[in-house]
Structure 1
């Protein structure tokens, strides 16, 4: 497979002033779509042609999310295969427009990036790994355009907890979210909109939330510093306010996971505040799923990268032989 250049996209949007360093030290390009706006992508790989399929990494959603969350995986795989990542709408160097951010917007961004990557690599299906809430978006993309993805990886996915299991039994609108408009209205009152977010994203607050994510006092200090930088940019509060108001959580994420037809790899930890996987029994018996549990928090790529990549590479070998 011939490796394509990643220095600039045909679809690059109008240039703008960069007010912070990029989350990944890699060639950048931009894609634009009327629904998800402008998204900034990063891509790199070995100089020699490789037979491995391109890999797309998708960061999570939180107050400080960027492609930096996938940096350990990006740095590892850039030496052996073409690897891509991007900042989701509302985060990093992508558009941070003041609007309501939804699963539809995030899913469209994933589809936009996946289609561009596939175009660059001879129309071959790609591999993708998503983190946390973005696993729900990736699963939706995988059900809507299964031909784009050869495999799908899920790190610490949301939507497999007790509440998701209960929702699956009740049924209802497949596109329903947990949106609380009243809560977003409170957060976005101009008088305190930015002031409250500044309090939420002080270094002390970010450290507090990262410790809950890692499930221990020791965290990745580089991630902390970049989280602080990205949360102190113009418009940084817009997407997070949709996140904390429930707009980006799908009520029926569990059904999206069950509907995936491609090989699926899932890994999660056992420490911290994000360890409720009571509903995973609904997928762990499916023949296309491989699930790994590690003694980590919700960001295993920062704690046990060697075990994460060993598990994922084993999964890739099995998927290739299936």
Structure 2
């Protein structure tokens, strides 16, 4: 059986919704996008009418489930949107060139959809890990679309990040991609990466602890066993979703930026955050967690973000 045939048939079980609420779909330059959405009752006296966009990270098992603690909290108080990015979850998983341009176009598409429903006022957005790079690029390209940016465990501040990479460049390694995707073993390799044991191993490295979220593990297993599940992850593993110009993009952000990261686990290299630490529009906070602090200490993360947002709005 050929790889494409095996990919079409690769299903552990139908993929359930990652989040409660409705689900919107749009089809455009970024392909078919699925976005979870919840809008609280307008007569709620605590209702904040400004929409909040939540962007999950990119990895072998990415999905909107990664933003679940924030989604479940904020959906009680304001319109919240959480898309599955291209190649993940309920969105299109076709075999194509997954990279920063495609992901940034997806962010633009979702923002346009949100503003079509709520008006053209700037929205707030929080991204996780690698998707912080796509959010930053989108905010540089359309700064009028965003009021406050939130970055949780953002990539692009580690010692390997180039100081002045070419605009639009990536860290992609074509030879690695070709090696990983040779037909005889590309299916078997992804089967290994997406086993429950492997997913648990990587989540424990992300948490820096064995005390992971079991619901996330189970959803990760289901979403990695859907047709087309390996296409985007192989591009990710080969470096094609990491931008070489990301430090320049972070420096160009003019709106208020809230950033938090943990001090535990495998993702704690933020040596180059000194590049932007002294900028008055940035707030950077280190937390006693792994790379998913909103799962470990959601109340503290939410309180920090809300306090920063209120102060930023008051300052304006």
Calculate the aligned-residue CA RMSD, in Å. 1.1
Alpha-carbon deviations, 1:39-95, whole Å to 9, x = none? Answer: 100110311253441000000000000000000000000001111100000000000
Alignment of 1:1-322 (within 5 A): 19-34=14-29, 36-49=30-43, 50-164=47-161, 167-168=162-163, 171-322=164-315
Q: Deviations over 1:158-204 (max 9, x none)?
A: 0011122xx21xx3412110000111111222222221101111000
Q: Which moved more, 1:46-55 or 1:81-90?
A: 46-55
Contact 1:178 1:251 in 2 (8 A): yes
> Offset of 1:100 from its aligned partner?
1.9
Contact kept? 1:45, 1:77, Cα under 8 Å: no
Match of 1:12 in 2: none
CA distance in 2, matches of 1:198, 1:33: 31
Q: Give the TM-score normalised by structure 2.
A: 0.93
Instruction: Give the drift of 1:28.
Output: 0.5
Q: Deviations over 1:207-236 (max 9, x none)?
A: 000000000111000000000000001110
Instruction: Work out the CA distance in 2 between the residues paired with 1:257 and 1:315.
Output: 18
CA contact (8 A) 2:58 2:130 kept: yes
3-state SS of 1:192 partner: helix
In structure 2, the residue corresponding to 1:306 is in which secondary structure? helix
Partner SS, residue 291 of structure 1:
strand
Distance (whole Å) between structure 2 residues aligned to residue 293 and residue 306 of structure 1: 15
- How far apart, CA to CA, are the structure 2 residues paired with 1:190 and 1:151? 44
Q: Which has the higher contact order (CA 8 A, sep 6+)?
A: 2
Larger mean CA deviation between 87-96 and 36-45 belongs to 36-45
1:233-287 deviation per Cα after TM superposition (whole angstroms, max 9, x unaligned): 1110000000000000011211111100111000100000000000001111101
Asked if the contact 2:51–2:114 (Cα under 8 Å) also holds between the matched residues in 1, the reply is yes
- For 1:51 and 1:123, the matched residues in 2 are separated by 16
User: What's the offset of the Cα at 1:110?
Assistant: 0.4
Aligned pairs, number: 300
| Residue ranges of structure 1 left out of the alignment (5+ in a row) | 1-17
Q: Deviations over 1:102-135 (max 9, x none)?
A: 0000000001101110121121110000000000
Taking structure 1 as the reference length, the TM-score comes to 0.91
Give the Cα separation in 2 of the matches to 1:273 and 1:193: 26
